[in-house]
Structure 1
């Protein structure tokens, strides 16, 4: 039996569950007899092991299973009877002051909150839009050219020229020997031979690059270098070292010409440069559309968080924090990092988890009230859109439709888009044009 529901807080509730000890013992005995039919023990044929031996071996496990089953069933019955929407899992603890012959448990839990979405017609949302111009296509081509760069000895004549004066300049690839010391003592990681880097890429500290610029092969220079306070090498962070570098090799960068061969290297079979530019434009427009959609979705989600009123169950936040921590661990492991013994405190993810749970509850409310569920034709259209950028679209369709979990991910995206379109259709929206570089971030930098 279960007592009436106690209200402990805005969302926290408690139910006390109790049942006679005889019920538990009876069920345990029944399951032990079933277990005995197949139990094995040295010196006994299967199914002929004495019940006392079976109880000694399996009794604790079976008793635990019986208690879990009975408490779980009683809790579910009480929750259903009281029409409670339980959020997460209940915390079930035995009561020490149970009457003799009775087992009593307290089940403490949270319920889903009431979600009140404000008047969306009064909400102001600023959306963004962006265009792909010829300048963006040109910049992308420059990036692609740099990805296919060839280096040649600077100052030596060749089919592409000599690269100019054999003096180190930005864009050149320098190969150097260097040694660093602090207070006259060399430090770990401060010495290398035949170390290559491209000047101007920012791979080395600014003082190091500045000292290299202007050198000729065979020349050396000694200079001071101040390590930043937040430098990754803790032993030298915030300290000033003395470095000596010697330029061993100097090469200039030859970028491929934008011609038929270049177009072919990008997958344009006939080498048509105009077609190459069109392909690049289509790809950029697809990327821009995706980022615009993401920015606008985030603006809608921010608006919903501000306009909706609800209490967020702590249980759900804890569960999502744990999920985010595990996702982070798996991601780092996939990147080759050894994080086996590294703690991932859930508190680090609590703020993000709270927002995710809050939005999930708001979206669920909007979807249910306004019938915004993802429709099969919408899901199919989304999968087909994904497939456009692949060589064999049919394989992409098969990939998603062969796994219900993958398809559920697409359904979730469509559902979110339905909510975004619904909110934008009601709210007061304004639109601003954002620069391509701003939208694309670091990916747009040549």
Structure 2
């Protein structure tokens, strides 16, 4: 065997490999003999077919199988000898016309880059810190009271903030479409739950009134068949209801499960919940920020193959049902930057994990399951899922190791704290 490695653009390499066709003869003979043992041809006893007959019928099949095996074996040997780390299987091209005694083939590969982590201490990170003020607690109570508001029937024209009960049906160019109609449908004007223009179109209507409403589905509508289409709705208003927000008093506080009915006790419970939520929010924000700043601080060429795979992964995340049809070219335009950053961050985090040799303990697993099951009453089910599902367990361990690497970066980097209200902290999600 002879081989030559040629460096191409970026991380691509071309391997030119040749080997003697005679090297395949023992493999071909072995395959023919193995095949003949159970061969059942008309005119011969099973397993007793003469070798010249076996060769005449099956030589090409055994030759092709042997050729594939020898190409793979020689390719692997070159990879080992040259200490290369391919990202994906090679693209093989065979030149069968060069020589009748030798086979020449080329293997086009992309290799993993050499990763070195440097200057971590120069990374600057801002860590949010929750600062709960009385006004934050008062706002939280007001939001809770709003969730418990009552709806009272009124005989007047509807306005923003009202709830309307209505029947409606829609058509596009006179044709009906899926889920185009509903009866006794409750719509809170101003909630922005429906497509733009629909809720606004209900303002100024009284019970018993009808309206024709012409609007357009947004271009990013979840059903791609309706996106950007003009639609005509016929609407009949049945009821108009106005909200009555619950009065914040002892009775209301007790209704929320606070036995002593004191607003101070409710505030304390809300603050406790905010602080628990803040831990998860801050951890998530810091992880995203660490990955972003780590990627910015390190020079690293990323394999195009991995970026392409990540683009497909992002598209599936954003469009799980495949409702939005998008070309490969547009997909690259949309997701190239994010995919490149993700791949780069993944390579850097993996290098940190390998260098630091982090080990996962049972306590790490237990703590992680506590975190993902927070707010649920089925911790044991979640634990069983991750511990008894091999893929889920590997994913869990991968996330835990990533978190170790993120923590390692935070400990090395220059970190400053900044106070955040709970609402501002929520905006970081």
Which category of TM-score, normalised to the shorter sequence, fits these structures? 0.7 to 0.9
- For residue 206 of structure 2, what is the aligned residue in structure 1? 216
- For residue 353 of structure 2, what is the aligned residue in structure 1? 367
- For residue 240 of structure 2, what is the aligned residue in structure 1? 250
For the Cα contact (< 8 Å) 1:260–1:271, is it kept in 2? Answer: yes
Deviations 1:308-332 (A, max 9, x none): 1122222332333344455556x22
For the Cα contact (< 8 Å) 1:262–1:271, is it kept in 2? Answer: no
- For residue 295 of structure 1, what is the aligned residue in structure 2? 285
Question: Does 2:415 correspond to 1:429?
Answer: yes
CA positional deviation for 1:280: 5.3
Deviations 1:259-284 (A, max 9, x none): 54554xxxx9x898888776655544
Structure 1: runs of 5 or more not aligned? 156-164
CA positional deviation for 1:55: 7.2
CA positional deviation for 1:294: 1.6
CA positional deviation for 1:94: 0.8
How far apart, CA to CA, are the structure 1 residues paired with 2:253 and 2:43?
85
How far apart, CA to CA, are the structure 2 residues paired with 1:442 and 1:200?
24
- For residue 113 of structure 1, what is the aligned residue in structure 2? 113
Question: What is the total number of aligned residue pairs between the two structures?
Answer: 415
CA positional deviation for 1:106: 0.9
How far apart, CA to CA, are the structure 1 residues paired with 2:379 and 2:397?
19
- For residue 160 of structure 1, what is the aligned residue in structure 2? none
Q: Secondary structure at the match of 2:307?
A: helix
**Which range is displaced more, 125-134 or 189-198?**
189-198
Over the aligned positions, Cα root-mean-square deviation in angstroms equals 4.3
- For residue 3 of structure 1, what is the aligned residue in structure 2? 3
For the Cα contact (< 8 Å) 2:217–2:229, is it kept in 1? Answer: no
- For residue 404 of structure 1, what is the aligned residue in structure 2? 390
Question: Does 2:367 correspond to 1:381?
Answer: yes
- For residue 307 of structure 2, what is the aligned residue in structure 1? 317
- For normalisation by structure 2, the TM-score amounts to 0.76
1:200–1:234 Cα change, 3 Å: closer
Structure 2: runs of 5 or more not aligned? none
Match of 1:352 among 338, 362, 365: 338
Deviations 1:229-281 (A, max 9, x none): 858654438xxx8x885532223446677354554xxxx9x898888776655
**Which range is displaced more, 192-201 or 356-365?**
192-201
1:277–1:32 Cα change, 3 Å: farther
How far apart, CA to CA, are the structure 1 residues paired with 2:58 and 2:96?
25
How far apart, CA to CA, are the structure 1 residues paired with 2:426 and 2:245?
24
Q: Secondary structure at the match of 1:87?
A: coil
Deviations 1:47-106 (A, max 9, x none): 567878877987766555433332222222222222223332222211244311222211
How far apart, CA to CA, are the structure 2 residues paired with 1:378 and 1:93?
48
Question: Does 2:298 correspond to 1:305?
Answer: no
